[in-house]
Amino acid sequence: MKIAVLTGSPQKFGSSNMLAEQFIKGAREVGNTVSVIDAAQANVHPCTGCVRCGYGGPCAQKDEMGSESGTEHGIKAEIIGADMIVFVTPLYYFGMSAQLKNVIDRFCAFNGEIQRKHMKSALISVAWNAAEWTFDALEAHYKTLVRYLNFVDMGMILGRGCGTPEMTARSEYLAEAYKLGKSLKNK
């Protein structure tokens, strides 16, 4: 299947991208096609809430989401064309990064298309904290998105105690992320 991995860390070689890399390796090994959308580097403006899209596009803004005169290209096309979307983010103040949320807010212009597709999804995140409750808020947010957008959740990798790439390299989460990717055979 086609998997769109949406990464939200400004640290290109940071911990969340380390886990994403392992996930991608596993997913490709079992025959999936994976594309990476770097939400932290993409030229995507925040949703202005003008709702000229009427929650069903095209968006009034012209940027890498791809909305010129309703043509289908850019990040929107990448997401709509995928069978699975993977959200990758460092934990920032117990939620997802603003960079990732920025792109998700722009789903507004193709909300219905996503909802009708019943895509698969997954969440990959890392945090400095290792307490059991570290990911409670992010997990609740992700599960709410799954429910609202009619996703089929394929799993969550929540890297506790992954505050630096060195800490993450020593963790069990790299192997977990790889395993999650590998599990997506014939799905």
Ligand X SMILES: Cc1cc2nc3c(=O)[nH]c(=O)nc-3n(C[C@H](O)[C@H](O)[C@H](O)COP(=O)(O)O)c2cc1C
Residue 86: name the closest of 162, 163, 33, 165 by CA: 33
Secondary structure of residue 92 in the 3-state scheme: strand
Selection from 126, 113, 120 nearest residue 183 by Cα = 120
Stretch that binds ligand X, among 7-15, 42-50, 53-61, 111-119 (CB under 6 A): 7-15
Q: Which of residues 85-104 bind ligand X (CB under 6 A)?
A: 90-94
Q: Shortest gap between Cβ of 35 and ligand X (angstroms)?
A: 19
User: Is the CB of 70 or the CB of 133 nearer to ligand X?
Assistant: 133
CB of 175 to ligand X, least distance (A): 17
- Is 15 or 32 the residue whose CB approaches ligand X more closely? 15
Q: What is the largest CA-CA distance in the chain?
A: 48
Tokens 């909802």 identify what position? 115
DSSP secondary-structure letter at 51? -
Of 107-136, binders to ligand X (CB under 6 A) are 126-129, 134
Nearer to ligand X, 11 or 150 (CB): 11
Q: How many C-beta atoms lie closer than 10 Å to residue 57's C-beta? A: 20
Q: Are 95 and 137 in contact (CB under 8 A)?
A: yes
Instruction: Give the contact letters, 143-182, x = binds to ligand X (CB under 6 A), - = no.
Output: -------------------xx-------------------
Which residues bind to ligand X, rule: CB under 6 A? 9, 11, 14-17, 90-94, 126-129, 134, 162-163
